[in-house]
Amino acid sequence: MAQSATLVPGLLSGIGWSALGVLGTIGVAFIVGRLRHRYRDIDVFWPLGFVVVAVVGYLTTSAAPGGEVVQRTLLLLLTALWGVRLSFHLAMRGRGEPEDPRYAAIMRRAKGNEVLYGFVVVYGLQAALMFFVSLPITVGMHAGSPLSALQILGVIVWLLGFTFESLGDAQLEAFKRNPENAGKVMDQGLWAWTRHPNYFGDACVWWGIFLVASSGGWGLLTVLSPLLMTRLLTSVSGKPLLEARMAKSREGFAEYVERTSSFIPRPPRRG
């Protein structure tokens, strides 16, 4: 009871700091978007927002009861490695590209003031999602434990995810650089085992972070955060939208779907 009494105020304070970090990141993203007259740059700021949350959480829990240094350091490192790599990858991929079709479609539905609509629908939604998904980081920073089996398991799951996401992205970029592959389906390397190695990896990263954060007990209460992220990747804004575009623009996509797992990796079916 005494520990809970000291932890709860710290957790509430940490949630407040996390919200400020998210709002600050999204505010900068909005300014950059207005200066560049495109909304796709929010994707570059999305992973960086989680890094900001982790840094703020780490700095504000240095003397907090229950803020175990091992768990705090793991959460900071895992989040920073994932976020900086993904942000850099997205920035390089978007150089010189026009507006993302997803955001163009959203803005075509704008009514009234377009800037206000974009701020609420694009940036406001991203801020709310970022805050909710980052809760394991925030809670884990304030309710920690010494090195445990659960933390080790979380790091292993995170490593699996980080490998799939980073290697999948690298393989796809190498494939796209070859002019002979224009209009073709990427079905090599990890992409032969799952149609979305990057999304599968992203989901594993967040389940790994959740496991590390749960070592202190309180992090278990944030299980909806990785569940939401997985849902977004598999059923909402990730896989469905991408596959709808691929079906219209890539020859042989139907055959690729038939032989390749939709998400969880497995050997391809033989035709």
pLDDT mean values, one per 10 residues, the chain (271 residues): 57 88 95 86 94 94 67 96 96 81 77 83 92 96 85 97 97 92 88 94 98 90 96 83 79 86 89 59
Domain ranges of the chain: 2-259
Q: CB–CB of 107/39 below 8 Å? A: yes
What is the per-residue pLDDT for 6? 59
Q: CB–CB of 208/155 below 8 Å? A: yes
Long-range contacts of 250-253 (CB under 8 A, 24+ apart): 250/183, 250/184, 250/185, 251/183, 251/184, 251/185, 252/184, 252/185, 253/185
What is the per-residue pLDDT for 2? 36
What is the per-residue pLDDT for 66? 53
What is the per-residue pLDDT for 237? 77
Read off the amino acid at residue 128: A
What is the per-residue pLDDT for 4? 53
Query: CA 12, CA 22: separation in Å to the nearest integer?
Result: 15
Token pair listed for 259? 């032989």
What is the per-residue pLDDT for 107? 79
What is the per-residue pLDDT for 204? 98
What is the per-residue pLDDT for 3? 47
What is the per-residue pLDDT for 75? 96
Q: CB–CB of 197/164 below 8 Å? A: yes
What is the per-residue pLDDT for 164? 97
